[in-house]
């Protein structure tokens, strides 16, 4: 076939499609048995979308007369879909390394929060930071996520709590969305905590009467693009009733519901999310049996966050139980000043070891199911014709090394590609990493 294309990935030892038949998400056997091609090639068009994928000899014959802007020889290497990070808090000032020391010494997350630290500490610093300062650190964090293989990232506001700073954060996210080669799903999380000086009811009223109408106005004028609405539904933060009011109001303005629930205490958040038609709920360490059944029935994705359970020494979310009962399980890094981790490969490793997922399940949860949690599985999360050419090339002959080598992704990942464009190339590209 003649014509001009953006990229040819040639002769990959393994090309991990994840799925190949337009699936929106994977469950049980679908997750357990991923689609993998051997000795395969792939073509991305000038528009950044995948045009062909298949056995190397077939692709090379078919595209014999074509020209490519770039060609990468993947002999002996593996190609995977770009990873999708379904939960991050990446815009903030004021790290909390001192609180990490306090937690190691025995303080709980909520003890620090109730004493005015935690989210409150970060809010204080984020309110003072300029938009430029926030953008600079955010950009750097997105670059680090990309180097670890993430090509689509959910990004929350939530360290402003007042309208002015929430909008500042959303503008910073919008700037990255427009100026950087990375997929972003933007989340308004003004109900991340009850701001000092307000009751939860006052904060709820402020969000519904002031924040959401302003957000709608800015969405309509095209100044910002927000995809999801989030609330921290937790004892001592927003109770079930306030959560319901905020999420419903957000849904009424056209946002997808995607919120924090059942993390530290059983709140019946899962049941609420299923009832409201939430696209996803995160955390769920304390989910009830009824909540699991309700989420499975409502096709509401469970975004599990292994770093949080690990760092806060919480009980692990019941991933096995959810998988067995037909819940759509996704993964996120939860990058934030409490859980400082950019790396989805490390998240997958923790999900396997601590939550007892298989490597196939973890990869499906970090690709197609994470894309589903963001309402983006039409374009992301698997290697299929018509989807975005978002790809990761690792220098190993078996893709599982990406999970197996805990912290090894920095050496393993040779290239990260978004819409067929190389956005990261490893300096030490070419050195084998399987030993
Ligand atoms: N649990 C609520 N939100 C975050 C933590 C945010 C923070 O502590 O700054 C989470 O998902 O873990
Ligand atoms: Zn979170």
Q: What are 416-426's pLDDT values in tens digits?
A: 999 999 999 99
Q: Which long-range contacts (CB under 8 A, 24 or more apart) does 313-321 make?
A: 314/263, 314/264, 314/285, 315/285, 315/286, 316/285, 316/354, 316/355, 317/283, 317/284, 317/285, 317/287, 317/355, 318/287, 318/292, 319/351, 319/355, 319/356, 319/357, 320/355, 320/356, 320/357, 321/292
Summarize pLDDT for 67-100 with one digit per residue, the tens.
999 999 999 999 999 999 999 999 999 999 999 9
Which ligand 1 atom is nearest residue 96's CA? Answer: 9
CATH annotation of 83-373: 3.20.20.140
**The pLDDT of residue 295 is above 50:** yes
Stretch 191-211: mean pLDDT: 97
Q: What are the distances in angstroms from CA 432 to CA 251, 401, 408, 429?
A: 49, 12, 12, 8
Stretch 369-386: mean pLDDT: 98
Stretch 349-372: mean pLDDT: 98
Query: 427 falls in which pLDDT band (50, 70, 90)?
Result: confident
pLDDT at 44: 98
**Residue with the nearest Cα to atom 9 of ligand 1?**
119
**Cβ of residue 409 lying under 6 Å from some atom of ligand 1:** no
Which ligand 1 atom is nearest residue 334's CA? Answer: 11
Look at phi and psi of residue 90 and say left if phi exceeds 0, alpha if psi is from -120 to 50, else beta: alpha
DSSP state of 211: I
**Cβ of residue 172 lying under 6 Å from some atom of ligand 1:** no
What is the Å distance from ligand 2's center to 308 Cα?
9
pLDDT at 430: 58
What is the Å distance from ligand 2's center to 334 Cα?
5
Stretch 393-403: mean pLDDT: 97
**Cβ of residue 260 lying under 6 Å from some atom of ligand 1:** yes
**Cβ of residue 88 lying under 6 Å from some atom of ligand 1:** no
Stretch 245-270: mean pLDDT: 98
Which ligand 1 atom is nearest residue 263's CA? Answer: 1
**Cβ of residue 204 lying under 6 Å from some atom of ligand 1:** no
What is the Å distance from ligand 2's center to 156 Cα?
8
Stretch 314-341: mean pLDDT: 97
**Residue extents of the structural domains in the chain:** 3-81+382-425, 83-373
**Cβ of residue 333 lying under 6 Å from some atom of ligand 1:** no
**The pLDDT of residue 432 is above 70:** no
Find, among 297, 268, 307, the residue nearest to 284 by Cα: 268
Top-level class of domain 3-81+382-425 = mainly beta
Distance CA 113, CA 264 (A): 13
Query: 376 falls in which pLDDT band (50, 70, 90)?
Result: very high
Ligand nearest to the CA of 159: 1
pLDDT at 431: 53
Q: Are strands 183-191 and 150-156 parallel, antiparallel or unpaired?
A: parallel
What is the Å distance from ligand 2's center to 174 Cα?
19
pLDDT at 2: 82
What is the Å distance from ligand 1's center to 336 Cα?
7
Q: What are the distances in angstroms from CA 278 to CA 14, 245, 257, 337?
A: 36, 13, 5, 26
- Same fold flag, 3-81+382-425 and 83-373: no
pLDDT at 57: 97
Summarize pLDDT for 150-183 with one digit per residue, the tens.
999 999 999 999 999 999 999 999 999 999 999 9
**Cβ of residue 269 lying under 6 Å from some atom of ligand 1:** no
Which ligand 1 atom is nearest residue 308's CA? Answer: 12
ipTM > 0.85 (yes/no): yes
**The pLDDT of residue 434 is above 50:** no
Stretch 307-332: mean pLDDT: 97
Stretch 29-41: mean pLDDT: 96
pTM to 2 decimal places? 0.97
Distance CA 408, CA 378 (A): 30
């Amino acid at each position: 076939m003649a014509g001009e294309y953006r990229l040819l990935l040639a002769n990959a030892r393994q090309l991990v499609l994840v799925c190949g038949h337009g699936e929106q998400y994977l469950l049980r056997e679908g997750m357990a048995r991923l689609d993998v091609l051997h000795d395969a090639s792939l073509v991305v068009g000038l528009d950044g979308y995948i045009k062909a994928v298949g056995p190397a000899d077939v692709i090379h014959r078919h595209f014999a007369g074509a020209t490519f802007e770039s060609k990468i020889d993947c002999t002996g290497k593996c190609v995977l879909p770009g990873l999708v990070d379904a939960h991050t808090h990446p815009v903030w000032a004021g790290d909390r390394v001192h609180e990490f020391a306090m937690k190691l010494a025995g303080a709980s997350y909520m003890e620090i929060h109730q004493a005015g630290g935690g989210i409150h500490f970060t809010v204080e610093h984020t309110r003072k930071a300029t938009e430029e300062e926030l953008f600079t650190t955010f950009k750097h964090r997105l670059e680090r996520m990309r180097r670890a293989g993430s090509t689509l990232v959910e990004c929350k506001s939530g360290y402003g709590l007042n309208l002015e700073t929430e909008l500042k954060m959303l503008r910073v996210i919008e700037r990255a969305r427009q100026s950087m080669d990375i997929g972003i799903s933007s989340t308004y999380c003004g109900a991340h905590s009850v701001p000092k000086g307000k009751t939860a009811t006052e904060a709820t009223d402020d969000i519904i009467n002031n924040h959401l109408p302003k957000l709608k106005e800015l969405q309509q004028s095209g100044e910002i693009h927000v995809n999801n609405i989030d609330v921290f539904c937790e004892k001592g933060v927003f109770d079930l009733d306030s959560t319901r009011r905020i999420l419903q109001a957000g849904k009424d303005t056209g946002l997808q519901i995607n919120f924090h629930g059942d993390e530290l205490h059983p709140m019946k958040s899962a049941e609420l999310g299923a009832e409201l038609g939430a696209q996803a709920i995160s955390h769920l360490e304390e989910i009830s049996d009824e909540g699991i059944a309700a989420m499975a029935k409502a096709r509401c994705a469970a975004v599990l966050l292994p770093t949080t359970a690990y760092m806060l020494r919480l009980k692990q979310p019941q991933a096995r139980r959810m998988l067995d009962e037909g819940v759509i399980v996704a993964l996120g890094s939860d990058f934030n000043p409490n859980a400082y981790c950019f790396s989805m490969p490390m998240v997958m490793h923790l999900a396997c070891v601590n939550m007892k997922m298989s490597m196939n399940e973890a990869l499906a949860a970090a690709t197609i199911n994470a894309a589903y949690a963001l309402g983006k599985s039409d374009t992301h999360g698997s290697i299929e014709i018509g989807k975005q050419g978002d790809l990761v090339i690792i220098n190993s002959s078996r893709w599982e090394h990406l999970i197996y080598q805990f912290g090894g992704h920095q050496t393993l990942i040779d290239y990260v590609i978004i819409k067929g464009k190389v956005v990261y190339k490893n300096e030490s590209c070419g050195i084998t990493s399987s030993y």
